[in-house]
């Protein structure tokens, strides 16, 4: 059904181009309706991604603990004479 609608739209556009008639403006509120639909689709996709991430097990590697290095308290940084 969507393909047929697109074909009709293309035929209408070609006919208008051939007759050199400008496209009529869209009905008022069309842009807002499209924006609302796109936002709802994006929201659904974000929620689906979050649910999928929550459903898959997290394979976290344990943090590697490195030994600490003790500095010589007598060492003075920046001086070569000690």
44-81: pLDDT as tens digits = 999 999 998 888 766 666 667 776 766 666 655 555 55
Q: How many domains does the chain have?
A: 1
Place of tokens 């293309």: 10
Confirm whether pTM is higher than 0.75: no
Share of the chain above pLDDT 90, in %: 23
CA 52 to each of CA 10, 48, 61: distance values in angstroms, whole numbers, following the listed order = 38, 6, 20
Establish if 44 belongs to a structural domain: yes
Establish if 39 belongs to a structural domain: yes
CA 56 to each of CA 22, 38, 40, 53: distance values in angstroms, whole numbers, following the listed order = 52, 27, 25, 5
Q: Which domain holds residue 38?
A: 28-53
Establish if 74 belongs to a structural domain: no
Report the distance separating Cα 41 and Cα 30, nearest Å: 17
Establish if 45 belongs to a structural domain: yes
Establish if 67 belongs to a structural domain: no
Report the distance separating Cα 17 and Cα 20, nearest Å: 5
């Amino acid at each position: 059904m969507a393909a047929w609608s697109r074909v009709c739209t293309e035929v209408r556009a070609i006919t208008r181009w051939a007759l050199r008639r400008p496209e009529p403006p869209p009905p008022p509120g069309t842009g807002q309706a499209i924006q609302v639909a796109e936002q709802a689709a994006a929201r659904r996709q974000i929620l689906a991604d979050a649910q999928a991430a929550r459903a898959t097990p997290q394979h976290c590697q344990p943090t590697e603990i490195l030994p600490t290095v003790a500095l010589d308290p007598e060492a003075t940084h920046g001086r070569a004479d000690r």
